[in-house]
Structure 1
Amino acid sequence: MAVEKVMKRDGRIVPFDEERIRWAIQRAMLEVGIHDEDLLNKVVRRVVRRINQLYDGQIPNIENIQDIVELELMRAGLFDVAKAYILYRKKKAEIREEKKKILNKDKLDEIDKRFSLNALRVLASRYFMRNEKGEIVESPKELFERVSVLAVIPDILYDERVFDKNGGHEQDPKAIEKYLSKLDEYDGKLSIGRFKLNKYHFERLLNLYRELAEKGQMKVSIDEIVTMLENGAFEGYEDEVEEYFRLMTGQVFMPNTPALINSGRPLGMLSACFVVPIEDDMESIMKAAHDVAMIQKMGGGTGLNFSKLRPEGDFVGSTAGAASGPVSFMHLIDAVSDVIKQGGVRRGANMGILEVWHPDIEKFIHAKERNTGTNVLSNFNISVGIWEDFWEALKEGKRYPLVNPRTGEKVKEVDPKSLFEELAYMAWAKADPGVVFFDVINRRNVLQSAKNEPIRATNPCGEEPLYDYESCNLTSINLAKFVKYDDEGKPYFDWDEYAYVIQKVAKYLDNAIDVNRFPLPEIDRNTKLTRRIGVGMMGLADALFKLGIPYNSKEGFEFMRKATEYLTFYAYRQSVETAKKRGPFPLYEKTKYKDGELPVEGFYHREIWNLPWDELAEDIKRHGVRNAMVTTCPPTGSVSMIADTSSGIEPIFALVYKKSVTVGEFYYVDPVFETELKKRGLYSDEILKKISDNYGSVQGLEEIPEEVQKVFVTAMDIHWLDHLLAQANIQLWLTDSASKTINMPNDATVEDVKAAYLLAYKLGCKGVTVYRDGSLSVQVYSVEGEKKQRVKAKPSKYAVEKLKAVVEAEPWLARFINVNAILNGTNGKKGTDQPAGLTFSLSPAPAPKPAHESVKEKPDIPEDKIKELLGVAYCPVCYEKDGELVELRMESGCATCPRCGWSKCVIS
């Protein structure tokens, strides 16, 4: 009799699965370079036969089966394979023990096993609930259950048995008070099928009931709702909870960090992004400081446009004194952020914007220049807001007026070329400021007619342009999970499953708006006027690796476009379906949606459509849409680590790098790349060291086949032109924006930065963040050993064609974009990195980072110097926890720690 069941280590009885045996043996064979499908099948048959002989009619446990695998491998003479299998088995046992330590538990469940050690460490560092002693009291299973339960609570109150979108029903909203006064009694008392509601879930349900009752949309009383829950009337929604739980624990999508931390917990705030207005009076300025404090203490980040503040030295009527200017008030907000330590170590995150016409723009551009070691706005990303008139002045060579926002009068005129060079230089030298293109942001802004003004601010990482007091909830879908393999082992992308998940995630985000505890009433009100959501994606690099498509190729950019087109199309599809049942967002009738317009550039280029956008636009006109904006691409630092995938839409930083842990050092290898090496019989410690010493890149290594070098590219293997094209192709189909870093090598020039800014603008990006390798670093390295020079990145053929086409279409660009110099690597290099003709005063640029330097051990740095570094070039979490100075990488527009996932951006 064949064995049909097997006992897991935790005592569960599950179906016997021959494929798991096949996978384990195949892995061991690949480990020693054996690629023999017939031999694999033969060994698997012998193992299964032996199991059936020994356990006829019984239930073996996992250890029994593994023992048989070892024995049969040796009987087949495959001693090297048996050794690899034994070592892998031992390694798995060690990993299980390490996971138990991290999770503070004696037994692992199936969900624990799905997440890597790295993912569990990240979850343990910030996401799990802890007791008063600081001990973890929550497992991954419990975390994702509380997130999933909260996500389905709105479905109960929008059930047609209790909800009427047309209103007209009278229920007493205050009836919820008796339940709010005894929440503890309801902790775990109510449930949706097998899932229990804790008191925080119930409290959010009560508050949503009150809101809908006040609109007259509740058919029944709150007492009836509670009775229905007690009687299991809503058990049908158990499947919805299960589905969100399955998708998250399967690492298919992840909500933004605040949602993972706060769902079903006291703070209850699920959003990451907010914009706070700031007017030109002291009451507004202090209100903004208060609002920033309230948002950041709950884990959010803020964007502020300081352009309405009068310039430094301007007249102040109430005191007959002189104004201190926008930059001084940025320091005020920075100080507020500094004392609101999120989770003890997470700094507050802000985006500070000043528009290019403001008289203090030059001071703003230099606001983060480090001269004295004093406060340099370490809690701020800063960006210059540029409008079309600046580009026109630059094009025409006319002087550009700077205008006092208090009086509307011109203060002076400046040379736009000089200002542009100054901006580019500081981005080259200090990685700040970035630029935001407000005319591009507002070109397809369907909300402008409803809001009576353009958008003038973004969240801290720039991917969410927002109106005053708007917020946004974000998620990221893991593209790598949709790469499947056909019967011949060839990879393909499952577009149908991807479309299904997009719609589930869009619904999740709309529900999140209803159960969100917003930090301020103004944010609650303005968020619900537009119901903006941000469905995003991560795992792009890993998906392309699996598909065998180079990131920096025409095929790669076409995949990016199609993936983003699907993202927005199916997010809208779900939003229309939700609008049919629950009603469109309140400002819908005042927007351009009703005229058939969409805030998506790709919609206006029919020749690139893969989907029926005209049908979608008609459906939106006919039924409305629930969410004013639906897609974005946020940074995913720790979120992508939890999902065990590559970060956001970025290429990976390194295929192999050395990691130091308490028990020693080991090489971290990108999992998809590791599989490829083993499949080709190339995996060894020697090759890992070689790749690690080659900056984590395989470029130029003779041991690595050319086709592997072509596909497995890292961020610095990709020319900055191709980085720009990736952002532009993705931006084409987003309703909002994308968080992306345009990586440049250390020897890039100011001329390269200027060219990147102009090309980003002309290619339709809504903003851009350029990062020159090493420009964040402070020279505190010790030499480990001489390393070879990095292979120079070259632009793809597709990028070269695009570059030439842009400059040929507008010849004036040739004054700033030297096509030939960019292509041959001499752009702006005339014996110095600083271009000729700069007329302003600058502090010295950071010295180029020598190619042979790497961190060896914690340098002996004075404590005050350490404080200066934290949150700027080094990870504050790793330093405070382990005393390690781990250098941050610029990823998705934000400084991010490669070791623990800490990011200056609160989203990720």
Structure 2
Amino acid sequence: MAVEKVMKRDGRIVPFDRERIRWAIKRAMLEVGVHDDKLLNRVVRRVVRRINELYDGQVPHIENIQDIVELELMRAGLFEVAKAYILYRKKKAEIREEKKKILNKDRLDEIDKRFSLNALRVLASRYLIRNEKGEIIESPRELFERVATLAVIPDLLYDERVYDKNGKHEQDLSRVKYYLEHFEEFDGRYSIGRFKLNKYHFERLVNLYRELAEKGRMKVSIDEFLGMLENGAFDDYESEVEEYFRLMTGQVFMPNTPALINSGRPLGMLSACFVVPIEDDMESIMKAAHDVAMIQKSGGGTGLNFSKLRPEGDFVGSTAGAASGPVSFMHLIDAVSDVIKQGGVRRGANMGILEVWHPDIEKFIHAKEKNIGTNVLSNFNISVGIWEDFWEALRDGKRYPLVNPRTGEKVKEIDPKSLFEELAFMAWSKADPGVIFFDVINRRNVLEPAKGGPIRATNPCGEEPLYEYESCNLASINLAKFVKYDDEGKPYFDWDEYAYVIQKVAKYLDNAIDVNRFPLPEIDYNTKLTRRIGVGMMGLADALFKLGIPYNSEEGFAFMRKATEYLTFYAYKYSVEAAKKRGTFPLYEKSRYKDGELPVEGFYHREIWNLPWDELVEEIKKHGVRNGMVTTCPPTGSVSMIADTSSGIEPIFALVYKKSVTVGEFYYVDPVFEAELKKRGLWSDEILKKISDNYGSVQGLEEIPEDMQRVFVTSMDVHWLDHILAQANIQLWLTDSASKTINMPNDATVEDVKAAYLLAYKLGCKGITVYRDGSLSVQVYSVEGEKRKRVPAKPSRYAVEKLKAVVEAEPWLAKFINVEAILNGTNGKGKAALPSGLTFSVAHITPAKPPVREHPHHAEKPEIPEEKIKELLGVAYCPVCYERDGELVELRMESGCATCPRCGWSKCVIS
């Protein structure tokens, strides 16, 4: 009689699955370079036969089965394979013990097992609930259940049995008030199938009922509704909760960090991105400081445009004094952020914007030049907001007027070329400021007539342009999960499943607006006017690895375009369906959607369509849309770590790098790359060390086949031209923007930065963040490196063609873009780094007492203080890793934001 069941280590009885045995043996065979399917199948048959002989009609334990596998491998003479299997079994046992320590548990469940050690460390460090003693009291299963349960609560209230989209029903709200005042008494009383609502779920449910009832949309009273809930009328929605739980625990998508932390918890704030207005009077300035404090206390990040503030030295009527200017008030906001640990999880994150016409623009550009060692504006990313008239002045060689926002009068005229030079130099030396192209952002802005003007601000990482007091919830879909394999083992991308998941994630985010506890009433009101959501993606690099497509290739860029086109098309598909059932966003009738316009550049280029956009637009004109904007590409630092995938839309930082843990050192290897090494019989400690010593790159290593070198590229293997093209191709199909770092080598020049700005602008990017390797901090040992010269990145053929086409189309660009010099690597190399009039350099400052002398990951615990190394050198090192472990882990630039490679901490709160 065949064995049908098996006992797992946690005592569960599950169906016997011979495929799991097959995969375990195959993995051991690949480990030692054996790739023989006939031999594999023969061994599997022997193992299964032996199990059936020994456990006829019984239920064997998993350990019994693994013992039989070892024995049969040795009987087959596969001693090296048996050794690899035994070692892997031992390693798995060690990993299980480490996971138990991390999670503070005696026994792991199947959800714990799905996540890597690194993912669980990140979950434990910031996401799982702890008690007053700091002990973890929540499992990953419980975390994802509370997130999924909250996400489905709006479905109950929009059920046609209780909701009327066009209704004018009157309900007595006195009982609603009672429930809101006594919500703590209803902890665990109600449930959706097997999923119990905790008191915070219940409070959000009743609050949403109140909102809908005030609009006359509720057909039944609150007591009737709760009676239906108690009697199981909504238990069918259990499958919806299960589906969101499955998608998150399957690492298919992850919400932004605030949603993972706050769902079903006291703060209840789910959004990552906010914009706060700041007007030219003291009341507004202090209100802005208050608003920033309230948002950051809840876990959000804020963007502020300081351009309405009068310039430094300008007249102040109330005191007959002189104004201190926008930069001084940035320091005020920075100080507010400094004293608020956001939601107890991370420090403040702000985007400070000044538009290029402001008289204080030069002071703003240099606002962070003394950051190293002095911690100036460490809670700010700063960006210059540029409009079309500046580029016209630069093109025509005309003086550019600076205008006092208080009077509207011209203060002086400047040379736009000189300002452009200063801006590029500061980005070259400090990775700040970035640049925002406001004319590109507003070119397809369908909300402009509804909101009464253009967008003039973004969230901290720049990927989410927002109106004043708007917010946005974001979530990222793991592209790597949709790479499947056919019967012959060839990879393909499952576009149908991807389309399904996009719509589920769009619904998740739309629902999140309804159950969000916004930190300010103004934000609640303005967010619900447009119901903006941000479906995004991560795992792009890993997906391309699996598909065998180079990131920096025409095929790679075509995949990026198609993946983003699907993202926006199917997010809109959900939004149209939701509009039919629940209603459009309130400002829809005042928007340009009703005229058949979309905030998507790709829509206006029919020749690149893969999907029927004309049909979609007709649906929108007929039924409207639920959400004013639908897609963005945010940074995904710790979120992608939880999903065990590559970050956002970036190439991978390093294929191999050394990590230090309590029991010693080991090499971290990208999982997709590791599988390919083993498949080809190239896996060894020697090759890992060589790759680590080669800056985590395989370029120029003779041991690695040419086709692998072509596909497995790192961020520094990709030329900055190709980085810009990746962002531009993705931007084509987004309703909002993309967070991306344009990586440049250490020997890149200010001329390269200027060329990058102009190319990004002309290719339709909405902003750009350039990072020259080594400019973020005082020492750069992100990977083993230093022992050999890095192989210089070369632009792809596609990038060369695009570069030439852009300059040929507008010959004036040749004054700033030397095509031949860029292509041969001499661009600006003969010029001094400093533009005229600048007499300083901060690019290579080294502190008198360097805090580390080797790679931070494997340094001995340093003696820190000296004012905590000047507050971690202006946050060049991770504050979380220092505060938790006393380790100085150097940040790297990723998705336009400084990010910790060890724990995922980022200056951007989204990730």
TM-score category (smaller protein): over 0.9
Q: Is the 8 A contact 1:477 1:537 kept in 2?
A: yes
Q: Specify the alignment match of 2:617 in structure 1.
A: 617
- CA offsets, 1:110-136, max 9 Å, x none? 101000000000000000011111110
- CA offsets, 1:360-386, max 9 Å, x none? 000000000117844410000000000
The one-letter amino acid paired with 2:878 is C
Q: Is the 8 A contact 1:510 1:627 kept in 2?
A: yes
The alpha-carbon distance between structure 1 residues 883 and 187, as it changes in their structure 2 partners (threshold 3 A), is: same
Q: Specify the alignment match of 1:803 in structure 2.
A: 803
The one-letter amino acid paired with 1:736 is D
Q: Specify the alignment match of 2:118 in structure 1.
A: 118
Match of 1:887 among 879, 890, 899: 890
Q: Is the 8 A contact 1:126 1:343 kept in 2?
A: no
Per the TM alignment, residue 779 of structure 1 is displaced from its structure 2 partner at its CA by 3.8
Asked whether 1:557 is paired with 2:557, we answer: yes
Distance 1:249 1:100 in 2: 18
Asked whether 1:273 is paired with 2:289, we answer: no
Q: Specify the alignment match of 2:542 in structure 1.
A: 542
The alpha-carbon distance between structure 1 residues 344 and 573, as it changes in their structure 2 partners (threshold 3 A), is: closer
The alpha-carbon distance between structure 1 residues 638 and 844, as it changes in their structure 2 partners (threshold 3 A), is: closer
Q: Specify the alignment match of 1:901 in structure 2.
A: 904
1:218-237 matches, cutoff 5 A: 218-237=218-237
Q: Is the 8 A contact 2:375 2:875 kept in 1?
A: no
The one-letter amino acid paired with 1:228 is M
Distance 2:177 2:449 in 1: 39
Q: Specify the alignment match of 1:36 in structure 2.
A: 36
Distance 1:102 1:602 in 2: 46
Unaligned stretches of 5+ residues in structure 1: none
Q: Specify the alignment match of 2:314 in structure 1.
A: 314
Distance 1:138 1:869 in 2: 32
Per the TM alignment, residue 567 of structure 1 is displaced from its structure 2 partner at its CA by 0.1
Q: Specify the alignment match of 1:474 in structure 2.
A: 474
Q: Specify the alignment match of 1:76 in structure 2.
A: 76
Q: Specify the alignment match of 2:446 in structure 1.
A: 446
Q: Secondary structure at the match of 2:229?
A: helix
The one-letter amino acid paired with 2:553 is S
Per the TM alignment, residue 586 of structure 1 is displaced from its structure 2 partner at its CA by 0.1
Distance 2:831 2:260 in 1: 51
Q: Is the 8 A contact 1:785 1:853 kept in 2?
A: no
Q: Secondary structure at the match of 2:308?
A: coil
- CA offsets, 1:203-239, max 9 Å, x none? 0000000000000000000000110111000001000
- % same residue: 88
- CA offsets, 1:743-787, max 9 Å, x none? 000000000000000000000000000000010111497998950
Q: Is the 8 A contact 2:126 2:345 kept in 1?
A: no
Q: Secondary structure at the match of 2:573?
A: helix
The count of corresponding residues between Structure 1 and Structure 2 is: 905
Q: Is the 8 A contact 2:876 2:890 kept in 1?
A: yes
Q: Is the 8 A contact 2:721 2:756 kept in 1?
A: yes
- CA offsets, 1:557-609, max 9 Å, x none? 00000000000000000000000000000000000000000000000000000
Distance 1:732 1:870 in 2: 38
Q: Specify the alignment match of 2:298 in structure 1.
A: 298
Distance 2:6 2:775 in 1: 56
Distance 1:440 1:271 in 2: 25
The alpha-carbon distance between structure 1 residues 870 and 159, as it changes in their structure 2 partners (threshold 3 A), is: farther
Per the TM alignment, residue 2 of structure 1 is displaced from its structure 2 partner at its CA by 1.2
Per the TM alignment, residue 866 of structure 1 is displaced from its structure 2 partner at its CA by 1.5
Distance 1:486 1:571 in 2: 28
Q: Is the 8 A contact 1:164 1:218 kept in 2?
A: yes
Q: Specify the alignment match of 2:132 in structure 1.
A: 132
Q: Is the 8 A contact 2:375 2:874 kept in 1?
A: no
Q: Is the 8 A contact 2:268 2:516 kept in 1?
A: yes
The alpha-carbon distance between structure 1 residues 859 and 130, as it changes in their structure 2 partners (threshold 3 A), is: closer
Unaligned stretches of 5+ residues in structure 2: none
- CA offsets, 1:803-826, max 9 Å, x none? 000000000000000000000000
Q: Secondary structure at the match of 1:369?
A: coil
The one-letter amino acid paired with 2:888 is L
Distance 2:644 2:654 in 1: 15
The alpha-carbon distance between structure 1 residues 784 and 722, as it changes in their structure 2 partners (threshold 3 A), is: closer
Per the TM alignment, residue 457 of structure 1 is displaced from its structure 2 partner at its CA by 0.0
Q: Is the 8 A contact 1:351 1:458 kept in 2?
A: yes
Distance 2:854 2:382 in 1: 29
Q: Secondary structure at the match of 1:715?
A: coil
Q: Is the 8 A contact 1:780 1:859 kept in 2?
A: no
Per the TM alignment, residue 878 of structure 1 is displaced from its structure 2 partner at its CA by 0.7
Q: Specify the alignment match of 2:206 in structure 1.
A: 206
Asked whether 1:877 is paired with 2:877, we answer: no
Task: State the TM-score, normalized to the length of structure 1.
Answer: 0.98
The alpha-carbon distance between structure 1 residues 563 and 871, as it changes in their structure 2 partners (threshold 3 A), is: farther
1:79-228 matches, cutoff 5 A: 79-228=79-228
1:412-431 matches, cutoff 5 A: 412-431=412-431
Per the TM alignment, residue 663 of structure 1 is displaced from its structure 2 partner at its CA by 1.0
Q: Is the 8 A contact 2:695 2:785 kept in 1?
A: no
Q: Secondary structure at the match of 1:243?
A: helix
Q: Is the 8 A contact 1:340 1:347 kept in 2?
A: yes
Q: Specify the alignment match of 1:812 in structure 2.
A: 812
Moved more, 396-405 or 871-880: 871-880
Q: Is the 8 A contact 1:637 1:903 kept in 2?
A: yes
Per the TM alignment, residue 175 of structure 1 is displaced from its structure 2 partner at its CA by 2.0
Q: Is the 8 A contact 2:263 2:270 kept in 1?
A: yes
Q: Specify the alignment match of 1:517 in structure 2.
A: 517
Q: Specify the alignment match of 1:839 in structure 2.
A: 837
Per the TM alignment, residue 690 of structure 1 is displaced from its structure 2 partner at its CA by 0.5
Q: Is the 8 A contact 2:782 2:890 kept in 1?
A: no
Q: Is the 8 A contact 2:778 2:845 kept in 1?
A: no
Q: Secondary structure at the match of 1:172?
A: coil
Q: Secondary structure at the match of 2:667?
A: strand
Distance 2:127 2:426 in 1: 36
The alpha-carbon distance between structure 1 residues 596 and 673, as it changes in their structure 2 partners (threshold 3 A), is: same
The alpha-carbon distance between structure 1 residues 172 and 483, as it changes in their structure 2 partners (threshold 3 A), is: same
The one-letter amino acid paired with 1:608 is I
Q: Is the 8 A contact 1:345 1:876 kept in 2?
A: no
- CA offsets, 1:475-506, max 9 Å, x none? 00000000000000000000000000000000
Moved more, 700-709 or 778-787: 778-787
- CA offsets, 1:413-466, max 9 Å, x none? 000000000000000000000000000000000000011110000000000000
Distance 1:376 1:313 in 2: 22
Per the TM alignment, residue 140 of structure 1 is displaced from its structure 2 partner at its CA by 0.6
Distance 2:56 2:873 in 1: 63
The alpha-carbon distance between structure 1 residues 75 and 162, as it changes in their structure 2 partners (threshold 3 A), is: same
Per the TM alignment, residue 342 of structure 1 is displaced from its structure 2 partner at its CA by 2.2
Distance 2:238 2:782 in 1: 56
Q: Secondary structure at the match of 1:717?
A: coil
Q: Secondary structure at the match of 2:716?
A: helix
- CA offsets, 1:617-657, max 9 Å, x none? 11000000000000000000000000000000000000000
The alpha-carbon distance between structure 1 residues 861 and 183, as it changes in their structure 2 partners (threshold 3 A), is: closer
Q: Specify the alignment match of 2:593 in structure 1.
A: 593
Q: Specify the alignment match of 1:866 in structure 2.
A: 869
The one-letter amino acid paired with 2:86 is I
Q: Is the 8 A contact 2:778 2:846 kept in 1?
A: no
The alpha-carbon distance between structure 1 residues 723 and 372, as it changes in their structure 2 partners (threshold 3 A), is: closer
The alpha-carbon distance between structure 1 residues 871 and 162, as it changes in their structure 2 partners (threshold 3 A), is: farther
The one-letter amino acid paired with 1:735 is T
Q: Secondary structure at the match of 2:303?
A: strand
Q: Is the 8 A contact 1:782 1:853 kept in 2?
A: no
Per the TM alignment, residue 341 of structure 1 is displaced from its structure 2 partner at its CA by 1.3
Task: State the TM-score, normalized to the length of structure 2.
Answer: 0.98
Per the TM alignment, residue 178 of structure 1 is displaced from its structure 2 partner at its CA by 1.7
Distance 2:842 2:625 in 1: 53
